[in-house]
Structure 1
Amino acid sequence: MSRPLSLRVELRRQITRPRTRWTYLVLLALPLVVVAAFTLGDDSNEGQNFADLATTGSANFAVFMLLVTAELLILILAALFVGDPVPAEASWSSLRYLLTAPVPRARLLTSKLLVGLGLTAFAVLLLLGWVLIVGGIFYGWEALSLDVGGSLTWSQVLPRLAASAGYVFLAQLPFAAIAFWMGVRTDAPLAAVGVAVFAAIVSSILDSLSALGDYRRALPNHYAREWIGLFGPDADYGALLPGVLWALLYATVFLALAYRHFARKDVLS
């Protein structure tokens, strides 16, 4: 007999929710909206930054789309997929039923956490794969044009795009964990997402204050754009390590707080 609320069951529950389907539809529509905006706007491409080079080929379009979505859209998706499931169950009054099924509390949280992270990772991969296709259809399959001049071949670009997508996913873990921690403390899904987004905004503001000096290195999104350095003549993958370590540290702390609080939570209230 299958265990209650297995990963397969939880995945089916989350995929069939309207918010999941609409989220992926928005991801699929976004590159087409950007293409339409480029078509209506000035397409002179006189500059040498990612926005100016976005229409020179599929690879450049993919890098540009990853840049403009990483720090807000993907962050919101991570906070939504990870932070929403527990308070949603509470607001539907089904959380008490699940825990009396019986489903151990740690297993319930783990199922929702892993599914939420899986949906977020799939969203990043879906977006990256789709923008490559859209960029190829509308702008061709040319190699990546660098903002410093020169270009990269597809054999160079694809591993860097994969590493960048993985890094963008990891960079959202602190805020996903904050949403998860807030989600076990409230029955309002929007509150969990909102707190995570607010934390990201505050962190960005503090990171812009040069008076903080090296203390800014400890902010959760200080290294969020470090992946951009991969799209230069020489990719330094080692530069990503500080951002990965800080992201894992923040995620571990807030996830531990979430598990600790939920283990003591009175779900009958």
Structure 2
Amino acid sequence: MSRPLSLRVELRRQVTRPRTRWAYVVLIALPLVVVAAFTLGDDDSTGQGFAGLATSGAANFAVFMLLITAQLLILILAALFVGDPVPAEASWASLRYLLIAPVPRVRLLTSKVLVGLGLTALAVLVLLGWVLLVGGVVYGWSPLSLSDGGTLGWGHVLSRLGVAAGYVFIAQLPFAAVAFWMGVRTDAPLAAVGVAVIASIVSSILDALTTLGDYRRALPNHYSQEWIGLFTADPDYAALLPGVLWALLYAVVFIALGYRHFARKDVLS
């Protein structure tokens, strides 16, 4: 007999939810919308940065799409997949039933966190693979054109895109953790996602204040775009390390706070 709310059971429950399906539909539709926008727009800007080079081939299109989705869309998906499941159970009046089943609170939270992170990682991989396919079909399979001149072969492009995708996923962990922490404190799923998005906006505003000096380095999204440096002639992989460490630190702290609060919470829903 399987244990109540195993990872397999939780994965099936989350995948079959309409919000998961619609999230992936949006993810698939977005590159097509961008291609349509480029088709209808003015091509005079070609050659100007990542946006101008986006139509020069699949590699450039993939880098551009990763750039415009990382700061908001992937962040919202991470907050949704990690922060929504617990308050959703409460809003359905099934959270207390699960705990009576019995499902230990640690197992319940761990299943939901791991499945949420897995769906987020899958979303990043699906996006990257899909934009490469769309970009190749529409714009061809030319090597990556670098913004500072020169090109980068597909062998280097694929490995660096893989590292960039992993970094983008890790960069969303602080806000996914904030959503999780808020999610165990409320019965409103949108509140968990909203708090995470607001936290990102506030962090971005503070990061723009140069008067804060080196204190900005501690902000959760200060290093969020460091992966862009991978797509240069001489990338510095060590520059990614501070962003990874800060993201993991925030994730551990807020997830631990979520576990601590839920362990003491009187679940009435």
TM bucket, shorter chain: over 0.9
What residue number does 1:35 align with?
Answer: 35
The answer to whether the Cα contact below 8 Å between 1:230 and 1:236 also exists between their aligned partners in 2 is yes
Amino acid at match of 1:205: I
The answer to whether the Cα contact below 8 Å between 1:91 and 1:187 also exists between their aligned partners in 2 is yes
What residue number does 1:62 align with?
Answer: 62
Deviation at 1:21, TM superposition (A): 0.5
Q: Taking structure 1 as the reference length, what is the TM-score of the superposition?
A: 0.99
Gaps in structure 1 of 5+ consecutive residues:
none
What residue number does 2:211 align with?
Answer: 211
Show CA shifts across 1:44-75 (max 9, x none): 34433000000000000000000000000000
For 1:44, what is the secondary structure of its paired residue? helix
Amino acid at match of 1:180: F
1:46 and 1:38 mapped to 2: Cα distance? 11
What residue number does 1:76 align with?
Answer: 76
2:125 and 2:46 mapped to 1: Cα distance? 31
Aligned 1:1-269 pairs, distance under 5 A: 1-268=1-268
For 1:2, what is the secondary structure of its paired residue? coil
Deviation at 1:94, TM superposition (A): 0.1
Show CA shifts across 1:124-165 (max 9, x none): 000000000000000000000000000000001001000000
Deviation at 1:235, TM superposition (A): 1.5
RMSD between aligned residues = 0.7
Q: Taking structure 2 as the reference length, what is the TM-score of the superposition?
A: 0.99
Q: Which runs of 4+ in 1 moved over 6 A?
A: none
2:241 and 2:71 mapped to 1: Cα distance? 18
For 2:44, what is the secondary structure of its paired residue? coil
Alpha-carbon distance change, 172 to 132 in structure 1, aligned in 2, over 3 angstroms: same
Q: How many pairs are equivalent?
A: 269
Identity %: 81
1:44 and 1:71 mapped to 2: Cα distance? 26
Gaps in structure 2 of 5+ consecutive residues:
none
Amino acid at match of 2:234: D
1:158 and 1:170 mapped to 2: Cα distance? 18
